[in-house]
Amino acid sequence: MNALPLDGVVVVALEQAVAAPFATRQLGDLGARVIKIERPGTGDFARAYDETVHGQSSHFVWLNRNKESIALDLKDEADRAVAAGLVAKADVFVQNLAPGASARLGLDAETVRAGNPGLIVCTISGYGSSGPYREKKAYDLLVQCEAGVVSLTGTPDAPAKAGIPVADIAAGMYAYSGILAALYERERTGAGASLEVSMLDSLAEWAGFPYYFANYGGTPPPRNGAKHAAIAPYGPYTVDDGVVFIGVQNEREWVALCEKVLGRPELAERFAGNTARVANDAELTAIIEGVLANVPAAEVESRLDAAGIANARMRTMAEFAEHPQFAARDRWRRVGTPAGEVSALMPPGVPPGREPRMDPVPALGQHSAAIRAEFGRS
């Protein structure tokens, strides 16, 4: 059986930037047909974020494989009718326009589902459709700030944003999972659904541990750079020829670290209990780094592996691209773009024995004529 789980599902995406395109690309990975509506001339503004991938945007190439692009001017009555016609025949409609824009275009959930009751509509916004922030513009960094994530990230001297767009990714993942759940429910009931996903709600869910830590502990988790605010030892440790990252999760691992890696079994009792280790992290770090000061990183990693203790090295993006685990598991594929092929990792979660769709990234309006002809609008 070669069919993918979402073969035959038609998704219309009135989308831009990161969150919605991430959700719809994943639907395409699992076989859905994704028709992306873009502005004539400029298209999704993420197309112009940078020019690093054969002259194309790295964000756009990442997020927009498996899609067909139709250019529509939604200020034009005829093109609005084309968009409405596409949505009327779709299974899923995803949009992340500015607040209120879809209603002004006649493409809000209530309107489009009136003519297509089995339709699943997913609206992605920055802060939600109600509340004092409903009209506020939202970009990833700004939502990271509002969700408290920037206050948690960085060093004691300087906060920092996450290095990837975590607010966008969180919203895209909840949109994706919500759409899958709605498709499953429709199979049982025949009814569509109207879903709303906000970036703030999504990232707030991811901030659950620091919320509980601060709200019930009295103080926020400290900014510890690459170390963990509530677990020790957990983070980077300098050794003879570099840095090794160590993660101890329980007392059994802590005892094993002391006995089998450090050769200092007396430390196990001296720093018993994670709370004591976190409180005395500076002293503990000095001891660990003192013991390992003359031990090469490869030997430290070997000892940690033998003791069953999690560890890692910090890889650059160039090293990530050459990671032996990806190569050994045949995770890389080639994907077409308007400017030539690129390497892309297979998405997680594809059913065993089946290849995900890895179709090309479209040029702006590449499929306009074909889609108009198919859906009866010249």
Strand ranges of the sheet holding 67-71, from the earlier edge strand across to the other edge? 67-71, 33-38, 10-14, 92-95, 120-125, 193-198
Burial of 330 per CB tally in 10 Å (0-12, 13-18, 19+): exposed
DSSP SS3 for 180: helix
In angstroms, what CA-CA distances link 210 with 151, 167, 206, 228?
10, 16, 9, 11
- Token pair in block for residue 170: 């969180």
Phi, psi (rounded to 5 degrees) for 163: -75, -10
Q: How many Cα atoms within 13 Å fall on the side-chain side of residue 92?
A: 33
DSSP SS3 for 328: helix
How far is residue 152's CA from residue 160's CA, in Å, rounded to a whole number?
Answer: 8
Residues designated catalytic: 228
How far is residue 154's CA from residue 160's CA, in Å, rounded to a whole number?
Answer: 5
For the chain, how long is the longest CA-to-CA vector?
80
Give the CA-trace dihedral at 56, 61, 63, 65, to 10 degrees.
Answer: 130
Report long-range pairs for 366-371 (Cβ below 8 Å, ≥24 apart).
Answer: 366/68, 366/69, 366/338, 367/35, 367/68, 367/69, 367/70, 368/69, 368/70, 368/71, 368/72, 370/68, 371/35, 371/68, 371/70, 371/86
